[in-house]
Amino acid sequence: MELLLPNPANSTPLTTLGFLDRAATAYGDSPSIVYNNVSYTWLQTHCRCLQMASSLTSLGIQRGQVVSVVAPNVPSMYELQFAVPMSGAVLNNINTRLDAHTLSILLQHSESKLVFVDHHSSSLVLEAISLFPRNTKHPQLILIDDEMVSSGSKSTSSTSHFLDHYEGILEDGDPKFKWVRPKSEWDPMVLNYTSGTTSCPKGVSLSHRAIFIKTMDALVDWSVPNQPVYLWTLPIFHANGWSFPWGMAAVGGTNICLRKVDPSQIYRLIKQHKVTHMCGAPVVLNMLSNSPDLETLDHHVQILTAGAPPPAPVLARTESMGFVVSHGYGLTETGGIVVSCAWKQKWNKLPLTERARLKSRQGVNTVGLTEADVFDPKTGEPVKRDGKTVGEVVLRGGSLMLGYLKDTEGTSKCMRENGWFYTGDVGVIHPDGYLEIKDRSKDIIISGGENISSPEVESVLYSHPAVNEAAVVAKPDKFWGETPCAFVSLKKNGELTQKPSEKEIIQYCRDRLPHYMVPKTVVFENELPKTSTGKVQKFILRRIAKAMS
Ligand SMILES: Nc1ncnc2c1ncn2[C@@H]1O[C@H](COP(=O)(O)OP(=O)(O)OP(=O)(O)O)[C@@H](O)[C@H]1O
DSSP string, 256-286: E-BSS--HHHHHHHHHHHT--EEEE-HHHHH
Ligand 1 near 118 CB (within 6 A): no
Same fold, 18-217 and 261-440: yes
Of 309, 323, 55, nearest to 174 by C-alpha is 55
Backbone angles phi, psi at 482, to 5 degrees: -140, 150
Looking at residue 522, its pLDDT comes to 96
Rounded-to-integer distance, Cα 199 and Cα 88, Å: 31
Q: Number of H helices and number of E strands within the chain?
A: 18, 26
H or E element in which residue 506 lies: helix 502-510
Closest ligand 1 atom to Cα of 305: 1
The DSSP secondary-structure symbol of 415 reads: B
- Reported in sequence order, the residue ranges of 1-113 that DSSP labels E, i.e. its strands, are 31-35, 38-41, 66-70, 90-94
Digitized pLDDT (tens) for each residue of the chain, 549 residues in all: 888 999 999 999 999 999 999 999 999 999 999 999 999 999 999 999 999 999 999 999 999 999 999 999 999 999 999 999 999 999 999 999 888 998 999 999 999 999 999 999 999 999 999 999 988 899 999 999 977 665 555 555 567 889 999 999 999 999 999 999 999 999 999 999 987 666 677 999 999 999 999 999 999 999 999 999 999 999 999 999 999 999 999 999 999 999 999 999 999 999 999 999 999 999 999 999 887 777 778 899 999 999 999 999 999 999 999 999 999 999 999 999 999 999 999 999 999 999 999 999 999 999 999 999 999 999 999 999 999 999 999 999 999 999 999 999 999 999 999 999 999 999 999 999 999 999 998 899 998 888 899 999 999 999 999 999 999 999 999 888 899 999 999 988 655 567 899 999 999 999 999 899 999 999 999 999 988 778 899 999 999 999 987
Domain ranges of the chain: 18-217, 261-440, 445-548
Do 120 and 267 meet the contact criterion of CB atoms below 8 Å apart? no
Q: Which of 195, 361, 459 to mutate to test the pocket of ligand 1 (most atoms within 8 A of CB)?
A: 195
Looking at residue 478, its pLDDT comes to 87
pTM (predicted TM-score): 0.92
Task: Output the CA torsion 160→124→170→73 (10° steps).
Answer: -150
Indicate the class that CATH gives domain 445-548.
Answer: alpha beta
CATH code for the domain defined by 18-217: 3.40.50.12780
Do 363 and 434 meet the contact criterion of CB atoms below 8 Å apart? yes
CATH superfamily of 261-440: ANL, N-terminal domain (3.40.50.12780)
Interval between CA 251 and ligand 1 midpoint (Å): 28
Rounded-to-integer distance, Cα 110 and Cα 481, Å: 41
Closest ligand 1 atom to Cα of 200: 26
Rounded-to-integer distance, Cα 98 and Cα 109, Å: 15
Closest ligand 1 atom to Cα of 440: 31
Interval between CA 150 and ligand 1 midpoint (Å): 35
Q: Which of 222, 425, 442, 454 to mutate to test the pocket of ligand 1 (most atoms within 8 A of CB)?
A: 425
Rounded-to-integer distance, Cα 164 and Cα 71, Å: 16
Looking at residue 295, its pLDDT comes to 72
When computed from its CA atoms, the radius of gyration of the chain, rounded to whole angstroms, is 24
Backbone angles phi, psi at 281, to 5 degrees: -65, 160
The predicted complex's ipTM stands at 0.96
Do 235 and 420 meet the contact criterion of CB atoms below 8 Å apart? no
